[in-house]
Homo-oligomer: A and B are copies of this chain.
Amino acid sequence: MGLIVQKFGGTSVGDLERIRNVANRVAKTREQGHQVVVILSAMAGVTDGLIAKAQEISKKPDKRELDVLLATGEQTTAALMAMTLRSMGYAARSLLGFQAEVLTDCSYGDARIIDIGAGRIRKLLEEDNIVIVAGFQGCDNDGNITTLGRGGSDTSAVAVAAAINANTCEIYTDVDGIYTTDPNICSKARKLKHICYDEMLEMASLGAKVLQIRSVEFAKKYNVPVHVRSSFNEEEGTMVVNEDEMMERLVVSGITCNKNEAKITLRKVPDQPGIAAKVFTPIADAGIIVDMIVQNIRQGGQTDLTFTVPEKDFDQAMDLARKIAFEIGTEEVLGDTDIAKVSVTGVGMKNHTGVAAKMFGALAAENINIMLITTSEIRISCVVMEKYAELAVRVLHDAFGLDKE
């Protein structure tokens, strides 16, 4: 008999019939003798609808009050789920964020969980209840309602699992696990049985939208085994676990691709101390997130400085870059939105040499020119022309043999 946290997203609880389906699945787990805590999102579309309503009042609605409004979404599904389970004859109780003692900081709209007091959940479990916790919401030290940002219910689930020391945190979603790459791009993509937290973090931040990044950070910090699986079938999905518990040891476990970046180059920048700060301070002040930064030595005390920004911020970033270029007396500013960042990720590369060489070789064999390169300990990213993105993914998937178990 175990203690299992099950999280269901907005599509899984989209109407009363789907709520009943989820209730059946929860009940089945209960019947198997497990204690169950269920974390729910709002019904699909509800959160967006509430935001739209708030924006009818003001383009920038007050953040605290927006959280009060948004919290009704998960409150609704939690109550409906508890009612459904009770109508089926199961003991069940809903808890809102403040009732489940999900303590957060007071960054409305993007709050961080500080602590979860597991007392009330534990007590309800001991009284044989299925406990339903409204995801996405918490409250700060003053009792103000907060929300955790997009995908926050994932983090609620993992944090609750950590607080009550659950055996597993199951994340039910509309995909059936984590794949070696996007199956829409590469037909040979294969579902991974295991992936480790660090790999998942790299892949999540690279655009694999299965799990909120913070939920993975939480899972890693508290060593919570996360099972990503489909809410539409009973198949095993992918376990996200500690590196030590990895069963299959792949050098590279996934290929990701992000087309939503743009590249800006300042040419012939004086190679002097303080120049980088001069360039990136105004961009940071404008709230633009810079991803890759590459600088190479150039002849004559000058260098080229290239960086990438989200494509949506490209125009603003170009304006700023031109202003900066003028100030530091440099020659020209080049911009390019037709780029894609292709990355290979795997904890195995820490102990294996030759991954970068293999990657560059595979791309070269297809005449795909590499425009930028950055690396982390477990990831290598190359920027290529956007038109080669899919080809690059398929080539690399083959090169690292990811189609084979």
Contact = CB atoms under 8 A, between A and B. Distances in A.
A168 interface: no
Given A53-B16, A96-B145, A68 B58 contact: no
A215 B145 CA distance: 28
Contacts of A83: 54, 57-58, 61-62, 65-66, 69
A68 B62 contact: no
Interface stretch (A72-80, A245-253, A267-275, A366-374): A72-80
A interface SS class: helix
B54 A80 contact: yes
B87 A61 contact: yes
A94 interface: yes
Nearest to A69: B79
A14 B35 CA distance: 43
A84 B57 contact: yes
A67 to B, nearest CB: 8
Residue from A56, A68, A75, A99 with most neighbouring chain B CB atoms (10 Å): A68
Contacts of A76: 69, 72
Residue from A65, A66, A76, A94 with most neighbouring chain B CB atoms (10 Å): A65
Nearest to A64: B93
A87 B68 contact: no
Contact of A65 (B56, B82, B143): B82
Nearest to A62: B86
A98 interface: yes
A362 to B, nearest CB: 53
A82 B99 contact: no
Interface in A84-126: 84, 86-87, 93-94, 96, 98-99, 120
Given A68-B75, A80-B69, A16 B56 contact: yes
A137 to B, nearest CB: 11
A71 interface: yes
Nearest to A143: B99
Residue from A64, A80, A143 with most neighbouring chain B CB atoms (10 Å): A80
Contacts of A68: 75, 78-79, 82, 94, 96
A126 B335 CA distance: 54
A87 B98 CA distance: 27
A58 B99 CA distance: 25
A281 B76 CA distance: 40
A65 B53 contact: no
Contacts of A96: 68, 145
A359 to B, nearest CB: 50
A57 B83 CA distance: 7
Contacts of A75: 68-69, 71-72, 75
Contact of A72 (B65, B72, B98): B72
A71 B79 CA distance: 10
A58 B65 CA distance: 32
Contacts of A16: 53, 56-57
A95 to B, nearest CB: 9
A82 B65 CA distance: 7
Nearest to A144: B99
Given A99-B143, A143-B99, A145-B96, A79 B56 contact: no
Contacts of A61: 83, 87
B53 A66 contact: no
A144 B93 CA distance: 10
A233 B145 CA distance: 35
10 closest A-B pairs (Cβ-Cβ)?
A: A58-B87, A69-B79, A68-B79, A72-B72, A65-B82, A62-B86, A65-B83, A65-B79, A61-B83, A57-B83
14 contacts: A16-B53, A53-B80, A57-B83, A58-B87, A61-B83, A62-B87, A66-B79, A66-B83, A68-B75, A69-B76, A69-B83, A72-B72, A99-B143, A120-B143
